[in-house]
Amino acid sequence: MLRFETAGESHGECLVATLAGLPAGIPISLDRVNRELWRRQQGYGRGGRMKIETDRAEIVAGVRHSHTIGAPVAILIRNKDWQNWTEALPVEDAEGAEDKRKPVTRPRPGHADLAGALKYNFHDARYILERASARETTARVAAGAVAKALLAEFGIQVLSHTVAVGAVTLDRPVEWEELAALSLKDEVLLGSVDPATELRMKEVVDAAYRTGDTVGGVFEVVAHGVPAGLGSHATWDSRLDGRLAQAIVSIQAVKGVEVGCAADGAASFGSKVQDTIHYDRERSRFTRGANRAGGLEGGITNGQDLVVRGLLKPISTLRRPLESVDLATREPALAAYERSDVCVVPAAGVVGEAMVALVLAQAFLEKFGGDSLGETRRNYAGYLQQVKDF
Ligand code: EPS
């Protein structure tokens, strides 16, 4: 069973990701992990923090001579900004530390500030926002890069693109090759495969900049080369669509998820929504008329590309703050503002890739198991033969 966890505060010493349950022998390239971290930091509309940080992974356990050894993998990413917070967020309390805190007493609507303060009984939301911040997604992306390395050994790749920023939406289907080309770019504007649409998206971000506002959007994650048969229809919690939905909605600021063409499907008749089944005798394989199901039927992958979308609300930290209440005085007050991103859709797409890769790697290892990559390969080859002989 592949498990992963993250720890770390936004302005603490570092972020940490651990992964346990990986087979031995997966090749791990630090450059590839760092490239994923770089991709997460890009995009027009990111805030001042991204100018401070150059996220770099330090793998401190579970990888030796560039391969996993079957032991838990642990990855550190140091926060450069920590040097500005050593006195505000010390691990050990000391005399005078109370005066050096940076309390947040005017909770931001839409952030975890108020709900978290009530739940943990803090009259200062600082500790809540430190962990709720999307900075945590750095650790998810590092873990996801390791999951991607496993999947790549079996020809499975996971990429993303921006479908919408605010009300500007890409209005055409996307080819896998376009996503592959997008992922190799060294300059990222808003993560759209279509340059004209991307410029219209930029205008929306510019409008948000001008007015001290923020803007959300939609990202799409596509997994390519996925075999039929991951996940199961048999129990509610083994259905892969449900597991992917949980993974996507768990990303900060994501409020909705769509599998395949779910929204269009809900507004159409059944005859227009299902992907018809055909058989190619020459290649001895089943084919489909379309991929509206997003590669999932009955909670099982069906061998088509897996397609899931995340619907991202606008970031809740606004330069022109919204109405709130001061936790100490209970008087009306404007919400706290330190700094923030204006648009994070392309970055959220990279985080979405990581989450999809982790869920797919879990489902893959559930089905094929193996303590070494060679064992997993044998199990996978046997299954592929079974599907071929069907
Ligand atoms: C983020 C780092 C954070 C925020 C952002 C994401 O850094 P800071 O709080 O120091 O500016 O820029 O967090 C949020 C969007 C949020 O709502 O907290 C990052 O590394 O992605």
Nearest to 112 by CA among 336, 330, 355, 319: 336
**pLDDT of 236:** 98
Count other Cβ atoms within 10 Å, centred on residue 338. 12
- The mean pLDDT value of the chain amounts to 97
**pLDDT of 228:** 98
pLDDT tens sequence across 179-194: 999 999 999 999 999 9
Using CA positions, which residue lies closest to atom 11 of ligand 1? Answer: 49
**pLDDT of 86:** 97
Residue 304: exposure state from Cβ atoms within 10 A (0-12, 13-18, ≥19): buried
DSSP state of 27: B
pLDDT tens sequence across 327-365: 999 999 999 998 999 999 999 999 999 999 999 999 999
Beta-ladder partners of 311 = 218, 256
**What does 206-237 look like in DSSP terms, one character per residue?**
HHHHHHT----EEEEEEEESPPTT-S-SSSGG
- Closest ligand 1 atom, CA of 347? 21
Question: Is any ligand 1 atom within 6 A of the Cβ of residue 10?
Answer: yes
At CA 244, angle to CA 3 and CA 388, rounded to 5?
Answer: 90
Residue type, 322: L
Whether residue 7 contacts residue 112, with contact meaning beta carbons closer than 8 Å, is answered with no
% of the chain at pLDDT higher than 70: 100
Find the 164 Cα to ligand 1 centroid distance in Å.
21
**pLDDT of 218:** 98
**pLDDT of 264:** 96
Nearest to 126 by CA among 111, 137, 136: 111
Rounded CA-CA distance 356/247 in Å is: 7
pLDDT tens sequence across 1-28: 999 999 999 999 999 999 999 999 999 9
Rounded CA-CA distance 76/18 in Å is: 9
Q: What are phi and psi of 381, to 5 degrees?
A: -60, -40
Find the 356 Cα to ligand 1 centroid distance in Å.
22
pLDDT tier at 65 (50, 70, 90 boundaries)? Answer: very high
**pLDDT of 37:** 98
Left (φ > 0), alpha (ψ -120 to 50) or beta: where does 68 sit? beta
Question: Is any ligand 1 atom within 6 A of the Cβ of residue 348?
Answer: no
**pLDDT of 312:** 98
**pLDDT of 308:** 98
Question: Is any ligand 1 atom within 6 A of the Cβ of residue 317?
Answer: yes
Beta-ladder partners of 301 = 296
Rounded CA-CA distance 239/52 in Å is: 41
**pLDDT of 52:** 96
Beta-ladder partners of 61 = 74
**pLDDT of 246:** 98
Nearest to 182 by CA among 138, 145, 142, 221: 221
pLDDT tier at 325 (50, 70, 90 boundaries)? Answer: very high
**What does 135-204 look like in DSSP terms, one character per residue?**
GGHHHHHHHHHHHHHHHHTTT-EEEEEEEEETTEE--S---HHHHHHHHT-SS-SS--S-HHHHHHHHHH
pLDDT tens sequence across 113-142: 999 999 999 999 999 999 999 999 999 999
Find the 315 Cα to ligand 1 centroid distance in Å.
10
Count other Cβ atoms within 10 Å, centred on residue 155. 11
3-state secondary structure 59-81: EEECEECCEECCCCEEEEEECHH
Instruction: Determine the length of the chain.
Output: 390
Question: Is any ligand 1 atom within 6 A of the Cβ of residue 216?
Answer: no
Token output for 78: 């140091």
Using CA positions, which residue lies closest to atom 7 of ligand 1? Answer: 49
Token output for 17: 């990701």
